[in-house]
Amino acid sequence: MTTATRVAPAVLDLEARLALVDAAMTVRLEQAALALDINTAHLPAADPIPHIAESPPLPLTPAPAPSPYSTPIADLLHRARTRIQTDGWCRDALYDGDGAICPIRAIRLEAHGARSLADDACVLLLDRIQADFPGAETIPSWNATQASSQPVIQAFDRAAHHAHTRGL
């Protein structure tokens, strides 16, 4: 009669188990690296990270959109509106220490010395302001009563649209 002897399984401590897992992972990583080499052997030898040419840095502020108006006064009013949005709006003076400007200064700056064009744009802007605010006597007096730049921007939009529809 033969007797079978049972052998108790070996109990591995934590260090031994970690060593076995490390060995198994090393084998798997080596197999993956070999598979990568085999699977990409047909590709032409190239730098794995392509060289990207130096390009000029992107501007931090977006460039203003071109004017949608082809008529001179409408275009001037649109540019003045954009200038107020870019430089900032000033209520009680032509300009302030931060560079913010009032509507009349924006028009004069964007007119680039064309005084009659700037005068016509101011008259048209005041006309549109008075259509919505009958008590407004002048652009500066109306501008001084505004709490934010939003009504000023809207007045420029209405004036530019009005000038465009009239062919000005």
Query: Which residues have CB under 8 Å from 123's CB, separation 6+?
Result: none
Q: What is the pLDDT of residues 13-45, one digit of tens each?
A: 889 899 999 999 999 999 998 888 887 776 666
- 100/117 Cα distance (integer angstroms): 22
The total number of residues shown for the chain amounts to: 168
Rounded mean pLDDT, 96-119: 91
Nearest CA among 164, 75, 158 for reference residue 83: 75
Contact at 8 Å (CB) between 124 and 116?
no
Is the pLDDT confidence value at 67 over 90?
no
Rounded mean pLDDT, 106-111: 93
Torsion angle of the four alpha carbons 147, 150, 156, 161, in this order, in degrees rounded to the nearest 10: -140
pLDDT at 44: 65
What is the DSSP code string of 68-111?
S--SHHHHHHHHHHHHHHHH-B-SSSSB-TTS-B-HHHHHHHHH
For 120, the token pair is 């016509």
Distances (CA, A) of 7 to 2, 10, 11: 16, 9, 12
Alpha-carbon 109 to chain mean position: 25
For 14, the token pair is 């934590």
- 167/117 Cα distance (integer angstroms): 14
pLDDT at 76: 94
For 84, the token pair is 């107020």
Give the pLDDT band of residue 49 (cuts 50, 70, 90): low
Going by the DSSP 8-state scheme, the letter that residue 147 receives in this structure is S
